[in-house]
Structure 1
Amino acid sequence: MTYVLVYVDDLIITSSDSDFITTFIHTLDQQFSLKDLGSLNYFLGIEVSLTSNGIILSQGRYIRDLLRRTNKADAKPISSPTELGLRRILSGDPLPDAHLYRSVVGALQYVTITRPEISYAVNRVWQFMQSPTIAHWSTIKRILRYLKGSIHDSLLLRPMSDSSLVAFSDAGWISDLDDSRSQDGFALFYRGNLISWSSRKQKVVARSSTEAEYRALAFATTELIWVQQLISELRAPLTAPPIVLCDNLSAQFLSRNPVIHQRSKHICLDYQFIREIGEDQSLVVRYVSSQNQIADIFTKVVGTSRFLNLRSKLMVHS
């Protein structure tokens, strides 16, 4: 079994047969001018380390460059990227250098590849790309100060015999008091490793927490199905149906209820989508307590102690 990952002119090649890798590279080199850099240790700004515990992905070098570019290399570190009571800032003095703001937000989005715990904070500042203010820039500086204090943190991928595919789905109802929109997010684990996640604002106003949670459930389910198909194409089939965990009992009951009623008629498409998948038993929706809801970190501002606890569950470690 051989996999080749191609991004423009950069390639990662891995195989169950090490001799085949050598032959494959030699064959490619006869057609194209290649440079073999040996074992994987750096790819598109991502540092890769192989240890006895698994594969460690980090972006320490990339973060250092970002801190130097924003004059935050000597900033005072803090323990979380957001603060409680954070609200959207709709007015204020415009930022003189809007181009710098957009550039830094774009760089922070790239950092989320190995630092998923800042996804919620980055999504918040991304919402003001068009007309950033000085206050918005202060929010970015807090994220940079957090990265300064956790520059050595990285994402761990461990070898596991368990082939389960589990998604945590969550929504923060009316998380934005200025426009009453909700925030949804998910964390998707394959073999106990975080492989996909998201934090985004919902496009429409949810009229109840159940509606917000159910829309988040549909979004997480869509990603889970795509990942399931990808895993199948890679010839690593699952031994059990994927599981989606949500902390809203009403949303869970709604996924099993065959009757469309007053509470669900305005989310009819999402309703039918999840119910159809559940009926053929290709997906299982289960309840998880709010205390064990890992996706909380993608949907709302949490206290520092809980933030650090959820970060460790994402397998982000120093």
Structure 2
Amino acid sequence: MESAKPSIAHMATTYRLTKTESKAFDNPTMYKSVVGALQYATITRPDLAYSVNRVWQFMGNPLEQHLVAVKRILRYLQGTLNLGIHLKPVVFDSSLPIILTSLCDADWATNLDDRKSISWVCLFVGPNLVTWWSKKQQTVSRSSTETEYKSLALAAQEIIWVESLFSELNIPHQVPLILCDNLNTVSMSHNPVLHNRTKHIELDLFFVRGK
């Protein structure tokens, strides 16, 4: 892959990976080794979290189309070796409380095999990105709003843990901010009335609204 042409994107937006629409890859050990190494790359490259999570789901039985996706990630890495996380100093001052910001998003029903959605969350302490992850949701969502709300609940859970850590260390911080790009999800978070269409996710509703 050293002489391969670099890619400007780590995964095509229209490319959907499945467990059936390709021939089996004849060297699954090599596939597992490469994908396992890519897991280490996500420690300093949050932009790879989603694509590595996608190819990781086929470790049990990798196909040729999965290897094509892995090669594209490697080509993207080759062209972006200078990218990384830049950390800036943060002053712990009671007059200037630290800002905690979390961003959440979801990809609705992208898995063609089980139609489960994928959530991803990242959390900033001041200007610094300190935690991020991408994972498949445990249940199937019947709407994009439900998918986004599950991600919002996970983001709230993550930021509550950081708040408790700051409280133990006596570090002042402002009221956390969670950013979500789904208007229905934001409206449901503020609406005190539960509708029939949202009763199946009311636990997440009460959790986020309470926090």
The residue aligned with 2:124 is 189
CA RMSD in angstroms comes to: 1.6
Q: What secondary structure is seen at the aligned counterpart in 1 of 2:163? A: helix
Q: When you count strand as a share of all residues, which structure comes out higher?
A: 1
Matched, 1:263 2:193: no
Q: Distance in 2 between matches of 1:245 and 1:106?
A: 31
Q: Distance in 2 between matches of 1:103 and 1:176?
A: 23
Q: What secondary structure is seen at the aligned counterpart in 2 of 1:170? A: strand
Q: Structure 2: any 5+ residue segments left out of the alignment?
A: none
Q: Distance in 1 between matches of 2:155 and 2:184?
A: 17
The residue aligned with 2:32 is 102
- The TM-score with structure 1 as length reference comes to 0.61
Matched, 1:234 2:163: no
1:153 to 73, 83, 89: 83
Q: Displacement, 1:184? A: 1.4
Letter in 2 for 1:228: E
Q: Distance in 1 between matches of 2:24 and 2:115?
A: 24
Comparing 247-256 and 168-177, the one that deviates more: 168-177
Q: Displacement, 1:89? A: 2.6
Q: What secondary structure is seen at the aligned counterpart in 2 of 1:155? A: coil
The residue aligned with 1:165 is 100
Q: Distance in 2 between matches of 1:222 and 1:105?
A: 28
2:134 to 177, 199, 204: 199
Per-residue CA shift, 1:56-80, capped at 9, x if unaligned?
A: xxxxxxxxxxxxxxxx223221111
Alpha-carbon contact 2:100-2:126 (below 8 Å) kept? yes
Matched, 1:221 2:150: no
Q: Structure 1: any 5+ residue segments left out of the alignment?
A: 1-71, 278-318
Q: Distance in 2 between matches of 1:169 and 1:120?
A: 13
Q: Distance in 1 between matches of 2:112 and 2:31?
A: 24
- The TM-score with structure 2 as length reference comes to 0.90
Q: Greater Rg, structure 1 or structure 2?
A: 1
Q: Distance in 2 between matches of 1:165 and 1:203?
A: 27
The residue aligned with 1:132 is 62
More relative contact order, 1 or 2 (CA 8 Å, 6+ apart): 2
Q: Displacement, 1:230? A: 2.0
Letter in 2 for 1:84: T
Letter in 2 for 1:223: E
Letter in 2 for 1:164: I
Letter in 2 for 1:94: A
Alpha-carbon contact 2:50-2:134 (below 8 Å) kept? yes
Aligned residues: 205
- Report % sequence identity: 46
Alpha-carbon contact 2:17-2:65 (below 8 Å) kept? no
Show structure 1 runs of 4+ deviating over 4 A.
Answer: none
Q: Distance in 2 between matches of 1:256 and 1:217?
A: 13
Q: Displacement, 1:96? A: 1.9
